[in-house]
Amino acid sequence: MTILWSILILGGLGLVFGIGLVLFGVLFHVEEDERIKEVEKMLPNYNCGACGYAGCHQMAENLVSGNEPMVSKCKPGKKDKNFDPIIAYLSSHPDKDGTVHVPK
């Protein structure tokens, strides 16, 4: 009985908070550069924070905006699996005003 209750309560709480967060996410949606999403997909997505940013998303933001010139700050990333595709993607997708930020 205890097991059932704990599963029900924690599951229910998770469900309620999850739905609440989805609603908040839709309500406070911020339009972002679509390249950020693509770069984030190419990072390892461990969200380990070893690069010094809060997670892979923030790292991707800074790579795209050119604030972060070193893609190799990503510790778990592999050169051929993560870094090379990101460099290739960012060199072929310039900013709106035409500048290309290619990380190393």
Partner 1 sequence: MNYLAAFVMAIISYALIDNVVLSRFYGICSFIGVGNKVKSSLCMGAAVSFVIVMAAAICYPLYNFLLVPAGVAYLDTIAAILVIACLVMVVGLVMKKFLPSLYQSLGIYLPLITTNCAVLGVVSENIASNLDFGMAMANAVGTSLGFTLVIFLYACIRVRLEASATPKAFKGIPIALVVASLMAMAFMGLQGIGV
Q: How far apart are CA 25 and CA 3, in angstroms?
A: 32
* Closer Cβ to partner 1, 22 or 88, answer by number: 22
- 43 binds partner 1 per the rule CB under 8 A: no
Q: How far apart are the first and last CA of the chain?
A: 57
Specify the residue, 21 or 88, whose C-beta has the smaller distance to partner 1. Answer: 21
> Do 102 and 68 contact (CB within 8 A), yes or no?
no
17 vs 46, beta carbon nearer partner 1:
17
State the Cα–Cα distance between residues 96 and 37, nearest whole angstrom: 16
Q: Are 84 and 103 in contact (CB under 8 A)?
A: no
**Shortest separation between residue 60's beta carbon and partner 1, angstroms:** 14
**92 part of the interface to partner 1, by CB under 8 A:** no
> Quick check: 5 binds partner 1 (CB under 8 A)?
yes
Site for partner 1 contains 19 (CB under 8 A): no
Angle at 50 between CA 93 and CA 31, to 5 degrees: 40
Binding residues for partner 1, per CB under 8 A? 1-2, 5-6, 9-10, 13-14, 17, 20-21, 24-25, 28-30, 49, 52-55, 58
